[in-house]
A and B are shown apart, each in its own frame.
Chain A
Amino acid sequence: MAIKILKDKCIGCGICFKSCPADAFEFEAYDGNKLGKVAKINAKCTFCNQCLTACKFGAIEEEKIEVADDLDDYKHVWVYAEQRDGKLMNVALELIGEGYRLAKEISEDTQVCAVLVGDGIDHLAEECFAYGAEKVYMIQDPLLKNFTTDGYAKVLVDACYEYKPEIVIYGATHIGRDLAPRVAARMNTGLTADCTRLDVRVSSYIEYADKNTTLDTSTLDPNDPSTGIKQTRPAFGGNLMATIICPRTRPQMSTVRPGVMQKREKVEGATGEIVNVKPAITEADIRTKIVEIVKSAKELVSLTDADIICSGGRGLGDPSGFELIKEFADKVGGVVGSSRAAVDAGWIDHSHQVGQTGTTVKPKIYFACGISGAIQHLAGMQTSDIIVAINKDPDAPIFEVADYGIVGDLYKVIPEIIAEWDNAEALYDASTK
C-alpha cells in the first residue's frame, strides 16, 4: 500500500525520517508552514508502512486499497495436507490445527478442509479428521502417486477453481515451496512465503502484535469486521517482520514454516465429509520424470518435535566437538542441532541445521554451545522457551537472546552439566533452603 503525506498537516519537523528503514524521506520546499518545507517520500520507499505511526500531526496516511467485490464467492479454509509415501507430514496436522482456528475466526460455518493429493491414500482422511479437519477433498490418481510440480499444480488449480476456497495454506517444505508458487501464479493470486503467524480478525492481530512485537497498533481498529488474512513473516534474515495481506484476489495463499503452528488435540474416531475429486490428469501433463527417490541413510533429526536441543557451532573448534554435543543431548533427552557455520565447515550434516536456511525450532530448552548467534541462526531459534548460551566470548550476540548465559570453555562446562544433570532437583532444593 502506498503512503501519502498530507501537506496541509505536515509541519516539516522530520521526525518521520527516523522511522524509515529505507531512508526514503526527504524534504521538499512548501510555503504553507513555518519551516517552509514538508516531508516527501522518494523512490527508496519499500512500502513497509513503518512510518504510519511516526507522525504526531496525522500527516502520514496509507492509501486505501480497493477491494474487489466478487470475493464473497470464496469460502472455507483449505490445508494442503502434504503426504509422502502414504504418510502425512507433521506440518499438515499443524496446519489443520491452525486452519481450524482461522476458519472459526472467520465465522461459525466456515470449515477447515484438508486436501489430499496422491494415490492409494484413503487411509489418511481419518487422521485429518482426528486432528480437526471437517471435510477432506481426496484427489487420487496413479499419476499422482509421487509429487510432481506439473501434476500436483494442475489438480490443485482445478480443484481451487471448482470449489473456490477463501484461503489455502501449505507447509513450507521443499514440496510446498515448489508447488504453491506455481498454483498461485497460475491463478494470478497472492502467495506469502514462510509465514510464522496468521490472523484473520484485526482484533486477534492486535492482541498478537501487542504481546509479541514492537508494532504500534494504535492505527488499527479492533472492531474492524474484515477477515482478510494477515500473514506475518520474517524478512531481511529475521531483522524485520512484515505482515502481508492479499486484498484483491482469491484464494489467499500462504506457506507456513513447519514447527510453528499448534496441532489440535487428537480426537480418535472423529469423522467428516469426504469429497472424492476426479482429477483430469494425463501423462502428457507431467513433463518431469522421477527416476528414483533416495531416502538418506542419515538418521532422521526431528528438530521440530524436540523438547530439548543441544546445538553446536564454530566455537567447537573441530568436528569431534559434536561427540560431546551428542553425549550432552543423549544425557538430557534432546537432539543435536547446529549452526550454519558448523554445517558449512563440513562438521555435521545439513539436516541438523537450525536457522533461516535450516529448521525453525521452538524447544523448551535450547542449548547454544559455541554458537556466536548470527541473525540467521537467531531467526530459527529465538522463540525457544528457554535459551542457554555457553560461549567463551562474552560479547557474542547469542548472549543478547539468551535467558541464561555461561561465559566459559564449553569443553569444561558441558561435562559438568552432564555430571550434575541428575542432581538438579537436589541442587534446587538445597538452594531454596
Chain B
Amino acid sequence: MAFKVLVCAKQVPNTNEIKINPETGTLIRDGVESILNHDDANALEEALALKDKYDDVEVIVVSMGPPQAKDMLLECLAKGADEAILLSDRAVGGSDTWATSNAVTAAIKHYGEFDMIFAGRQAIDGDTAQVGPQIAEKLDLPQVTYVQKFEISEDRKTVTVQRQLEDGYEVIEVPVPCMLTAIKELNTPRYMSIGGIFDAKNKPLHVWSAADVAVDLNTVGLKASPTNVFRSFTPKPKEPGVKIEGDSETDLAKNLLIKLKGKHVI
C-alpha cells in the first residue's frame, strides 16, 4: 500500500504585481501572472521531500478553481507530484471559506483513502488561513497550523512538528492521518526540472465537476456561503507628502525635525 500524501494548493494572482488604477480606483489585473500560492509551495515541497525519502510515497495535489488552474497543477506535477485533481465548476464559484472547504472535502472523499494532508497556511490573495483547518474539521482530522519543522516517525504513524508562535514555538506530536499547514520557514521549495516538465504531461490530471464528486449543492457556491461581500473598495489615497529639502544631510535632518516638532509628534 502506498503512503498517500495529499497537498491542497491554490492558484493565485501574484499580488505583488497588482496595482491600482489611480483614475478609476480599481485593480489593474491585466498581465498579472497566476502563480502557485507561496505557502502551498512549501506544503508541496514537504510532501515531495517525504517522497524522496520513501519509495512508496505518492503525492496528490488537490485544487479548486477555474480551468486555468491546470497550469499551476502542471507545475506541481513537474516538480514531482504524481497526480493532480482540479475541482472546477460554476456551481462552486463565489464560495467563501466554509463553502470552499465543503467542496474540497468532497473532492478528497471522492479521491479516497489517504495518509496525510499538507496545505499552505494561507493564500496571498485572501490571507484567511481558514480553508486548511476547515477541511480538517470536515474530515474530522487533527490539525497543526503554522508548521515550521516536520518529522515523521519510523513506523509513519505519528509526526512531530514545530508550530510557530509569535514568541517561540511548540513541539507537537500528532497521529496520522492529520492536516498540517505549512509556512515559509518549513523548507525551500524546489524548482521544476526539465525532465519533470516533460514527464508532467504524462501524469494524471483529473478535472472534476461538482457532480463528479457528488457534493451537496446546498453547501457550496455563493448562495450557500454564510459570508457574503457587502461592499468592497480601494483604500483612500493619502494626502500628498512633503519632500524635505536641504543642501546637506544636516539640513535635511534639521528640516525634518522642525516639521515633526510642528506636528507635535515629538
Contacts and interface: CB of A to CB of B under 8 A. Distances in A.
Interface of A: 1-2, 18-23, 43, 45-50, 52, 65, 149-150, 173-175, 177-178, 180-182, 184-186, 188-194, 209, 212-215, 230, 234-249, 287-296, 300, 332, 350-351, 356, 364-365, 374-376, 382, 385-389, 399-409, 412-413, 415-417, 419-421, 423-425, 427-428, 431
B174 A244 contact: no
B230 A243 contact: yes
B2 interface: no
A248 B173 CA distance: 38
Given A174-B146, A417-B257, A428-B258, A375 B173 contact: no
B227 A245 contact: yes
Contact of A412 (B127, B160, B249): B249
B227 A1 contact: no
Interface residues of B, number: 90
A215 B174 CA distance: 46
B256 A404 contact: yes
B11 interface: no
Contacts of A389: 241
Contact of A386 (B145, B226, B250, B260): B260
Interface string B139-182: 00011111000000000000010011111111111110010000
B244 interface: yes
Contact of A408 (B160, B174, B249, B259): B249
Contacts of A19: 24, 26
Contacts, number: 304
Contacts of B13: 236
B129 A177 contact: yes
Given A49-B232, A177-B129, A237-B16, A288 B142 contact: yes
Given A190-B225, A292-B170, A416-B253, A375 B231 contact: no
Given A177-B129, A185-B137, A213-B236, A244 B253 contact: no
B98 interface: yes
B31 interface: no
Chain A to chain B: the 9 pairs with minimum beta-carbon distance, closest first:
A190-B226, A416-B253, A237-B15, A428-B261, A190-B227, A287-B142, A21-B27, A185-B137, A193-B128
Contacts of A423: 254, 257
B90 interface: yes
Contact of A209 (B18, B134, B174, B233): B233
Given A287-B174, A292-B171, A424-B260, A244 B227 contact: yes
A347 to B, nearest CB: 16
A194 B128 contact: yes
Contacts of B265: 364-365, 385-386
Contacts of B167: 295-296, 300, 351
B227 A191 contact: yes
A245 B232 CA distance: 12
Contacts of A287: 142, 174-175, 178
Contacts of A400: 238, 241
A416 B249 contact: yes
B130 A413 contact: no
Q: Which of B165, B175, B241 has the most CB of A within 10 A?
A: B241
Q: Which of B242, B262, B265 has the most CB of A within 10 A?
A: B265
Contact of B228 (A1, A294, A375): A1
Given A45-B94, A194-B127, 9 more contacts: A182-B133, A184-B98, A190-B227, A238-B235, A240-B233, A246-B226, A351-B167, A415-B249, A419-B250
B222 interface: yes
B102 to A, nearest CB: 9
B97 A416 contact: no
